[in-house]
Amino acid sequence: MRGINTSVTKLRRKIFVEVAKVAYLVDDENVNSAIEAIPYTISPTEVPQYRESIYRERAIASERVRLALGMSLRPQDRPVHITAGLDASNISDKYYEPPLMQVIPSACDKCEDNVYEVSNQCRGCVSRACMAVCPKGAISIGKDGRTVIDREKCIKCGKCKAACPYDAIAHKVRPCADACGVKAISSDPLGRASIDPKKCVGCGQCMVSCPFGAIADKSQIFQLGRAIRRGDKVVAIVAPAIVGQFGPKATLWRIKAALKDIGFTEVFEVAHGADVGASTEAHHYATEVVTGKLPFLLTSCCPAWSMLAKTQFPDMVDKVSSALTPMVATARSVKQRMPDARVIFVGPCAAKKLEAM
C-alpha cells in the first residue's frame, strides 16, 4: 500500500498534526489536558469514521498519540493516562524507548495467517481437480455442490489452489507477517499480531503493509516542537528523498526555506554524509578486499541491514564496513560546527530511528 494515500495514512498524519500543534502552541500548564483531548479531535462526533464504534477509534488514537510522543503503549490490565510518563520523555536528550515498532492491540483485527479457503468463485466443476491433488483428503463436496476444505486435515501445501482452473481457492495470509522478511511476527494467545523485538530490524515493512494501521513506530515530533518553542538551536539534516515528498513544485530550496520558517536554525543534506561514507567504504575496499584480507565488503549505510547481519548472519558481521552511516556522519559534522545544536534527522526510513536508541 506504499504510495497510496489511504485512510491509515491520513489517520497517521492527523495524529502527527495534532501532536505538533500541542508541542508548538500550548503552554506547559495545559500540555497534558491538550494531549488527552487529541483522540476526541480525531473522532469528534458520535459517528465512527474507521471502526465500528467511536470508543474503539478513540482507544486506538490514544495509543497512536503515545507512540507519537515517543512512549510505549499503555498496559492492558489497568487504567493509565495517555500522558503518563510524559515528563520523563519530554526532554531534548531523550532517545527512543525500545521497542521501536509496536502492535496496537485494540487496532489489530486478528487476521488469519496461512489459511486456504474456498471462495464463492467455486463453480462445483466436474473434474474436482482440487480433490484429486489433495494428499490428505481434506477437501469434500458441500451441500451446495461447492468444495469445502477441512482445516483440521489441511497441511497448507497449496496444491489445491494451484490446480483450480477458476482460482477459487484463496490463500489467506497476515499482511504484516507476510511482509516481514525476518519472520519476527507471530500471534499472541488472543490471535493478535506480536512482534519479537529480538528479531525485528525496524525496517517498517509490517507497518506499511497492515491495512488496519495496527502497527506503528515511535516519533519524537513532540520533543522537537517543544525544543523549537523553547528557542533551542535545532538543526535539520534531511535525506535526499525529501525532494520527492511534496510534489514537483516543492524544490529542495523551498523545503529548506519552509523548515527555517517554522523554527529550524539551519538545514543540511544527509547526502554530505553519504559522500563521506562512500569515500570511507572505497578506502576499506581498497585496503581490505583488493589486498585479499576480506573476500568481499558489505555496506553499513542501512541500519536495518546491519541489524539483520548481526541477528541472522553473524558470520557476516566482520564483512560489514565500519564506515559511519550517512545520517551519523552528517550529524557529527554538524556537531563539530555547532556543538550546542539539537540535530534532527528528517527522512522516510523507520530503521534510522534504531541508530538513536
Residues 210 and 132 in one domain: no
Residues 345 and 248 in one domain: yes
- Residues in the chain, overall count: 357
Q: How far apart are the first and last CA of the chain?
A: 28
Number of domains forming the structure of the chain: 3
What is residue 353's predicted lDDT score, i.e. its pLDDT?
87
Burial class, 285, CB count within 10 angstroms (exposed 0-12 / middle 13-18 / buried 19+)? middle
Task: Indicate the pairing of strand 215-217 with strand 193-195.
Answer: unpaired
What is residue 153's predicted lDDT score, i.e. its pLDDT?
97
What is residue 1's predicted lDDT score, i.e. its pLDDT?
62
What is residue 159's predicted lDDT score, i.e. its pLDDT?
97
Residue 2 lies in a domain: no
What is residue 92's predicted lDDT score, i.e. its pLDDT?
59
> What is the reported pTM?
0.89
Quote the domain boundaries for residue 143.
115-172
H or E element in which residue 208 lies: helix 205-209
What is residue 119's predicted lDDT score, i.e. its pLDDT?
95
Residue 94 lies in a domain: yes
Residues in Cβ contact with 252 at an 8 Å cutoff, skipping those fewer than 6 apart: 242, 243, 269
Q: How far apart are CA 200 and CA 216, in angstroms?
A: 13
Residues 129 and 195 in one domain: no
Please list the rounded mean pLDDT of every run of 10 residues in the chain (357 residues): 84 97 96 97 94 96 96 93 87 73 96 94 95 97 94 96 97 96 95 95 95 95 94 95 87 93 96 91 92 92 90 91 92 95 92 80
H or E element in which residue 236 lies: strand 234-238
Residues 57 and 17 in one domain: yes
Residue 218 lies in a domain: yes
What is residue 31's predicted lDDT score, i.e. its pLDDT?
96
Residues 99 and 53 in one domain: yes
DSSP code per residue over 129-160 = HHHHH-TT--EEE-TTS-EEE-TTT-----HH
What is residue 248's predicted lDDT score, i.e. its pLDDT?
86
Residues in Cβ contact with 262 at an 8 Å cutoff, skipping those fewer than 6 apart: 228
Q: Are 102 and 73 in contact (CB under 8 A)?
A: yes
Residues 186 and 290 in one domain: no
- CATH number at 159 reads 3.30.70.20
What is residue 243's predicted lDDT score, i.e. its pLDDT?
86
